[in-house]
């Protein structure tokens, strides 16, 4: 018997990147848990968060600004990066 596929919103990448851009524009520090609290659903695999943040950093939208313990209960205080809008990109919503 096969395991059921985990459902993921078909536009997860677009929705998640939109949330990254919105949070980056505020200048506040955020992480994946911040985005889930803002309504971004969990991806089908947790590694998708890393790919999302890497793509946004490569595009110059965000930069890593700290390393802290995650507040997400399932992470049990595991380390994660805090992100902030890149200085030249802050305030710009695409």
Domain ranges of the chain: 12-85
- Look up residue 46 and give its two tokens: 């947790």
pLDDT tens-digit map of 3-29: 444 555 669 999 999 999 999 999 999
pTM: predicted TM-score of the whole model, two decimal places: 0.80
Return the half-sphere exposure (C-beta side, CA atoms, 13 A cut-off) of residue 12: 15
Going residue by residue through the chain (94 aa), what tens digit of pLDDT does each one get? 444 445 556 699 999 999 999 999 999 999 999 999 999 999 999 999 999 999 999 999 999 999 999 988 887 888 999 999 988 655 554 4
Helices 12-26 and 47-58, packing angle to 10 deg: 50
- Answer yes or no: are the C-beta atoms of 30 and 49 closer than 8 Å: no
Among candidate residues 48, 41, 53, 50, the one with its CA nearest the CA of residue 7: 41
Instruction: Specify the pLDDT at position 44.
Output: 94
Instruction: Specify the pLDDT at position 24.
Output: 97
């Amino acid at each position: 018997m096969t395991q059921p596929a985990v459902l993921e919103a078909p536009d997860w990448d677009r929705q998640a990147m939109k949330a990254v851009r919105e949070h980056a524009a505020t200048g506040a520090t955020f992480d994946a848990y911040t985005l889930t609290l803002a309504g971004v659903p969990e991806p089908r695999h947790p590694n998708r968060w890393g790919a999302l943040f890497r793509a946004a950093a490569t595009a110059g939208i965000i930069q890593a600004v700290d390393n802290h313990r995650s507040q997400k209960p399932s992470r049990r205080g595991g380390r994660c990066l805090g992100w902030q809008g890149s200085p030249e990109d802050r305030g710009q919503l695409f």
